[in-house]
Structure 1
Amino acid sequence: MNTAVLILLAAILGLVSLALLSFSLRGTVRLRALSDQRFGYLLKLDTDSDEAGAVRLLESWLKRIGLRYPGSDLRSLLDNAGLLRPDIRVLVHAGVVFAPVLCAVLSVLYLLLTGGEARLVPAALIFGVLFGYLAPRYVLRYLADQRRRALADESLIMVHLMKMLFDAGLSIEQALRTLHTQGGIMLPRMRQELEWVLTRIEAGMERSEVLGEWAAQVGVNELSDLAEMLAQLSRQGGNVQKSLTDMALLMEDRNRTRLREKVGKLSGKMTVVMVLFLFPALMIFVAGPGVMAIAAALGGVR
């Protein structure tokens, strides 16, 4: 009976979680639909069909829980997490493949060793498989988010340093090599990205091609714009100083916008904290003597 109640409660909680997830995704899907209606004529997409909306909703669900196209998202996650070395990528691939099996075996062994009922073995097996499948992807997403934040913070410094190096007369490749060799303290995360770029340039690849590939896989808007600009300058030439100045102004504007959003969210959180903790104490301090006086007066009447 207790097991049945626990399973029922777990099912109810799962349904409530799915309902909350669906409600949170409605706003995103609605904004995506409006964007598709606005720009769909450029892409020649059928934005008015219900089937397309259902497909987008299903894709959003699968993307949120990490089940979209098993294996195909792993390459982008590895790129965004900064795991570019072939040996590390092979180990991560092997871990992702064997993690569901290992977690399933461990969950079943734990259930049997702790004296659990044998009928719960399928549930433990399913839980282990799902946990082993989703946990590595969430870890990679966390690493990717940390890397994106670090690269976004270092991108503005890199632009200013490159502008100084170009003013000193260095070429694009020389500037990148100087930042790689001497910018380890100021640009620790960027140094790994520059090592990847310079390794391919030294291997004989075209510089503009390498920069374009870097722009496609880096996963940071600021660096993608910078890499595309450098690739265009490598192919066509142009005024590097003016382009970098405009890029620096754009990045500073993005940083200001991001900081305003962070301050707005922080002020909202502080308001909630103040209402929950400071307001009750203030009410007790202000209204407490009056309430006590009224209570004493009513007690005297009795």
Structure 2
Amino acid sequence: MAIDTSILVSGSLFAAAGALALLAWPLVQQWRQRRAATRTIDAALQRQAAQATAGQAAAPAAPGAEAAGQGAAAMSPRAAAAAAALARGTAPAGVAGAATAPASLGAKLGAEFGERFNQRWLDSRLGRAVVTAEEQALLEQCGFYGVQPRAVFGGLRVLGPLLLAACVFAWRLDGTLLSALVWTFVAFAVAFLLPKMVLRRWARNRVRQVAEELPVLIDMLRLLQGVGLSIDQSLQIIVAEFGTLLRVLGPELQRANQQFASGRSREQTLQRIGKLFDDEDLKSLIMLLTQVDRHGGAVQEPLRQFGERLQVARKARMKDKIGRLTVKMTGVMVVSLLPVLLILTAGPGFLGVIRMLSRMNGGNG
């Protein structure tokens, strides 16, 4: 009985430790993300300071390069190169070399034919029925833009169910025809709805990831604004230097910078991101940035207050989540620990009663 008690106590402590680890995992993950962001920001600021010192020590090579030298002194070499490439409307050296290389006639014809075929397929009646506006919005939330991803998704929703239904029909053909048709219909329906369900879940996870990355983006903007950079320079540096930290917002901001370099206004490029993810905090941040970009003014203090408000809301959400987890863990504890507790407390009494009844039966016999 002592061995059983120690095993049960050890199992209970192990289950409690596992539950505490599950509750602490989001906090640990947030701490690691903030630590990585702090290290990256410190390294970027050190590189900017070194670049600024080198720019002040060196003489300008040409009168026309003075403004470019001042802008590059405020940014790291990587960000300055990216900003210069976007301002000229060209790509960096490696990309420009690959883009300016003479493409073969077959590759051009193949790309043009594929583009036209995909567009005709999407404009057809079947294409409009398979890839609706909702699926297009989900694809953009998942980071897939253009005609080709929509055509691939539509082809997957058409060819996949047909192939699976044909395989299931051939597999169930040995039985009755009615059962084969039912299994075929079920397989077709599941294969047709599964890509959209996966895409919707993926988009929901990316929207949740945007809410997780938003405080990091605000801290970066506040620090870069504190060293005297403008909104455009801050966004360029965030995309060039901290794109690995912002897995969802980084590519979207890069696309916004490309659209801004192609002639669109900063307000249009940023509002597209707010409409895409439909997050109220993100929309508030975009509204703040567009107002500062349009009218000017200091943005560091509003960003600090906005970041504090986000942290308070985040803590409230975490408390709510912990409260729901506590209720769920209560049911788990009742199911798993209550039988053990009954065995430990009432087990010796039941064993004593059983022994007494066996003795009484033996005495009567």
User: By the TM > 0.5 criterion, same fold?
Assistant: yes
Task: Say if 2:346 is the partner of 1:287.
Answer: yes
Q: What residue in structure 1 maps to residue 41 of structure 2?
A: none
Deviation at residue 85 of structure 1 after TM alignment: 4.9
Normalising to structure 1: TM-score of the pair? 0.70
One-letter amino acid matched to 1:135: L
Instruction: Please list every run of 5 or more consecutive structure 2 residues that lacks an aligned counterpart in the other structure.
Output: 1-129
> 2 CA distance for matches of 1:99 and 1:235?
49
Determine which structure has greater relative contact order: mean sequence separation of CA pairs < 8 Å that are 6+ residues apart, divided by chain length: 2
Q: What residue in structure 1 maps to residue 270 of structure 2?
A: 211
Asked which structure has the greater CA Rg, the reply is 2
Normalising to structure 2: TM-score of the pair? 0.59
Deviation at residue 233 of structure 1 after TM alignment: 2.6
> 2 CA distance for matches of 1:230 and 1:93?
37
Residue 157 (structure 1) aligned to one of 216, 236, 261: 216
Residue 261 (structure 1) aligned to one of 299, 303, 320: 320
Q: What residue in structure 1 maps to residue 23 of structure 2?
A: none
Q: What residue in structure 1 maps to residue 331 of structure 2?
A: 272
Q: Identify if the C-alpha distance between structure 1 residues 176 and 129 changes in structure 2 by more than 3 Å, giving closer, same or farther.
A: same
> 2 CA distance for matches of 1:130 and 1:262?
35
Residue 105 (structure 1) aligned to one of 149, 166, 177: 166
Q: Secondary structure of 1:188's match? A: coil
Q: Identify if the C-alpha distance between structure 1 residues 256 and 146 changes in structure 2 by more than 3 Å, giving closer, same or farther.
A: same
Residue 180 (structure 1) aligned to one of 239, 260, 269: 239
Task: Say if 2:145 is the partner of 1:87.
Answer: no
> 2 CA distance for matches of 1:172 and 1:110?
62
Q: After the TM superposition, which parts of structure 1 deviate over 4 Å for at least 4 consecutive aligned residues? A: none
Deviation at residue 92 of structure 1 after TM alignment: 2.0
Instruction: Please list every run of 5 or more consecutive structure 1 residues that lacks an aligned counterpart in the other structure.
Output: 1-68
Output one character per residue of 1:80-138: Cα deviation in whole Å (capped at 9) or x when no partner. Answer: 222235433332233234443333333323323xx333222321332133112210111
Deviation at residue 216 of structure 1 after TM alignment: 0.6
Structure 1 residues 184-195: aligned runs within 5 Å: 184-195=243-254
Residue 249 (structure 1) aligned to one of 287, 308, 318: 308
Structure 1 residues 139-158: aligned runs within 5 Å: 139-158=198-217
One-letter amino acid matched to 2:164: C
> 2 CA distance for matches of 1:195 and 1:116?
57
Q: What residue in structure 2 maps to residue 45 of structure 1?
A: none
> 2 CA distance for matches of 1:95 and 1:224?
34
Structure 1 residues 219-234: aligned runs within 5 Å: 219-234=278-293
Q: Identify if the C-alpha distance between structure 1 residues 105 and 233 changes in structure 2 by more than 3 Å, giving closer, same or farther.
A: farther
Q: What residue in structure 1 maps to residue 358 of structure 2?
A: 299
Q: Tell me how large the CA RMSD over aligned residues is.
A: 2.3
> 2 CA distance for matches of 1:259 and 1:173?
33
